[in-house]
Amino acid sequence: MKNALDQPYPLSPEAVDFFQKNRYIKLKNVFDADTLAYYGELISQKVAELNTNDKPLDARDTYGKAFLQIFNLWREEEEIRDFVFSKRLGKIAADLMQTTGVRMYHDQALYKEGGGGITPWHADQYYWPLATDKTITAWIPLQAVPLDMGPLEFSAGSHVIVEGRELAISDDSEAILQKRLRVTDFQHVIEPFDLGEVSFHSGWVFHRAGANQTDQMRRVMTVIYMDKDMLLKEPENDNQINDWNTWCPGAVVGEVIDTELNPVIYSR
């Protein structure tokens, strides 16, 4: 099972070009059903063990309704670490970003409960004190995700928009960005995910997810990578200060982020 995690994925030059233009891509058959079933069960067990959010959905704010969020599972379970440190995923990330390697920023499970709300429009890198846009998130559904379960949606090529980068995930980001993106020529991509399909998106591309209209949990694992030579920048907001202290403690502004929480996952 572990061997499958490190087998190279046949990524075409056309796929790299697509990502460079749109800053997102969906790739089919990244993992097979047996691999997802095995590691999905381990991840789900750990999410259930570590989740502390016991408020009913109607008592939560928009962010709380969007998903149950558990971070850095790679530090909690050896076999989950094997999955998160998959060289198959790491090589895809490096190839798409056109870097010589990638480091861990952090991982997070994003479990959208049955009846869970939308994930508002946002760009991830608002939260990250990282000096360049050489960042990428692998969004790995642990089951097929039909449209009514709330798959990830993308505004293709929207990484070029500066307006809205200052917005945290909120009702405001949903309203403001929805209005802003509506008057652009960027394609709004809303598609289901097949079993084994994985998406990759850059830190500044705008994305969202719909509500989970089913009675089943939408189980997704994510891994956030950065260029292995990424420098820490001076934080620009309180969320970036928090991320510095939480995900790269001890890193120094202007230097490569090389802490025990940020190991190199893949290098050529």
Confidence of residue 219 (pLDDT cuts 50, 70, 90): very high
* Cβ 11 vs Cβ 92: under 8 Å: yes
Tokens, residue 68: 């149950």
**What pLDDT score does 199 carry?**
98
CATH superfamily for domain 2-246: q2cbj1_9rhob like domain (2.60.120.620)
- For 165, counting Cβ atoms within 10 Å of its Cβ (0-12 exposed, 13-18 middle, 19+ buried), the class is middle
**What pLDDT score does 185 carry?**
83
Within 3-142, residue ranges assigned H as helices are: 13-22, 33-50, 62-66, 78-84, 87-97
**Percent of the chain at pLDDT exceeding 70:** 100
The pLDDT tens digits of the residues spanning 67-111 come to 899 999 999 999 999 999 999 999 999 999 999 999 999 999 999
**What pLDDT score does 123 carry?**
95
SS3 129: coil
Determine the average pLDDT of the residues in 2-17. Answer: 95
Q: What is the pTM of this model?
A: 0.95
Determine the average pLDDT of the residues in 25-44. Answer: 98
**What pLDDT score does 215 carry?**
97
Strands (E), the chain: 24-27, 68-71, 101-112, 119-122, 135-141, 152-155, 188-190, 198-202, 207-209, 218-227, 264-267
Confidence of residue 65 (pLDDT cuts 50, 70, 90): confident
The pLDDT tens digits of the residues spanning 158-205 come to 999 988 889 888 999 999 999 888 868 899 999 999 999 999 999 999
Whether 145 shows a pLDDT value over 80: the answer reads: yes
Whether 258 shows a pLDDT value over 90: the answer reads: yes
The pLDDT tens digits of the residues spanning 47-56 come to 999 998 888 8
